[in-house]
Amino acid sequence: MLGHATADIISRHILDSLKSDGIDLGKLLQLGRDNPNVNKAVETMIDKELRSEREKKTGRAAANGLVSIGSCPLHVIHNTFKHGFTRNERQVEDILYEFWFFFSRSSAPREDYLSVAESIGDSVDRFIKRFVITRWIKVGPVIERVIDQWSILKEYFLVYLPKIDKNIINNDRWQRIKNYLDQQQTFVRFQFVLYVYRHIFSKTLTWLQQDEPLVHMLFEECSNLFRNVLISFIKDDLIMNKTVKQLFSITLDSQANQKPDSKLETDETTRNELKEMSTNDKATFFKDARLIYLTIAVSIHQ
C-alpha cells in the first residue's frame, strides 16, 4: 500500500518495477505526475537515478536528465477551463448544484418531475447528474442534460410546485432556483459554457486521457488550444500566421486587440437567444464572455 508512502518509497517502487520488466532506465524520457510535493520529490529522485545510469554507460556526467513539463497537463488545462467560469458572480456550479440537490433528498420529487414532463408532452431520458466542482471536465454532459430539460424544469419549478404547495415560496432553495429560471441570462450562460466546452476544450481534454505516450505531441496540442481560445476574442490579423511566441506577446486585455461583440465566438443558439434580451443584459453577457475568454487565455499562458 502506497497511500502514506514517502517519495523515497514511491520512487523505489517505480524504479524496481522498470528494472524487473527489463526496461533500460537510461532511455527514460519523461515522468508524468500530479502536483503534490511528494510527486515533485519522486521526479527529482528518479531524475537523479537516470543521470547516474547514463553516467555509468558513458563514463561522464549526464548533461540531460528527465524532460520536465511540470505537473499533469490534463489538470492544468482542466483548471484553465474552470478558472474561466468561476470569475463571474453567477456561478455555473452553484446553479447546477441547486438543481441536483433539490431532487437528491427523496424519490418523490423525481416521480413528480417525470409526471410533469409527461404532462407537457416531453420525456426525461436521463435525470440531471450531480456536478462535482473538482471535475469541471465533466461539466459539458451535465449542462447538456439541463439544457435538454429546460422546459421541464421551468414547468416543474415555476408552475407545478407553486400550484401543489402554497408554502414552497418560503423555501430558500426554491426561491434561488426560481430566480435562476426567471432570468433568460441563465439559459444563455449555460449555452455559452457548453459551446466553449464542445468547441475548444473537449477535444484536448479527451486527447490528454489516452493511455499512450503523448509528451512528443504535447506542445503542438497545447499551442492549438491556446490559438483556438485567442481566435474566439482576439482580432484575426493579430493571430493569423503567427508563431506561439508571437501570440504570447499580444496584450490580451487591450480593448484595441479584441474583437467587437458582434465577432466574439459563440454558437447560433446563443446568438438567437440574445436577440430576445434587453440591451443591458446583452452588454452584460458580452462583458462576461470577454472576461471568460481572457481569463482562460491568461491561465494557459501562465
| Structure confidence by residue, pLDDT tens digits, 171-202 | 999 999 999 999 989 999 999 999 999 998 88
Is residue 162 within 8 A of residue 168, CB to CB? The reply is yes
pLDDT at 3 over 70: no
pLDDT at 89: 57
Question: 286 Cβ partners below 8 Å, 6+ apart?
Answer: 261, 264
Cell of 47: 531524475
Residue 134 binned pLDDT confidence (cut-offs 50, 70, 90)? low
pLDDT in tens, 227-246: 999 999 999 999 999 999 99
Burial 58-89 (b: 16+ CB within 10 A, else e): eeeebeebbeebebebbebbbebbbbbbbebe
Q: Mean pLDDT across the stretch 250-258? A: 95
The pTM of this model reads 0.82
pLDDT at 154 over 70: yes
3 state SS of 234: strand
- The rounded percent of the chain whose pLDDT value lies above 70 is 94
CA distance 288 to 88: 7
Q: Which three cell numbers stand for residue 158?
A: 415555476
For the stretch 60-85, pLDDT in tens is 877 788 887 777 777 788 788 888 88
214 has pLDDT over 80? no
pLDDT reading at 15 higher than 90: no
Residue 2 has pLDDT above 90, yes or no: no
Look up cell 420525456; give the residue.
123
pLDDT digits (tens, 9 = 90+) for 87-121: 665 678 888 889 998 888 888 888 998 899 999 88
Amino acid at site 203 = K
So what's the pLDDT on residue 253? Answer: 94
Q: Quick check: 263 pLDDT over 90?
A: yes
Q: Could you tell me how many helices (H) and strands (E) the chain has, helices first?
A: 15, 0
What pLDDT is recorded for position 90? Answer: 60
Whether the pLDDT of residue 283 is over 70: the answer is yes
pLDDT greater at residue 257 or residue 132: 257
One-character DSSP codes across 98-136: HHHHHHHS-HHHHHHHHHHHHHTT---SSPPPPPPTT-G
**285 Cβ neighbours under 8 A, 6+ residues apart:** 185, 188, 189, 192, 274, 277
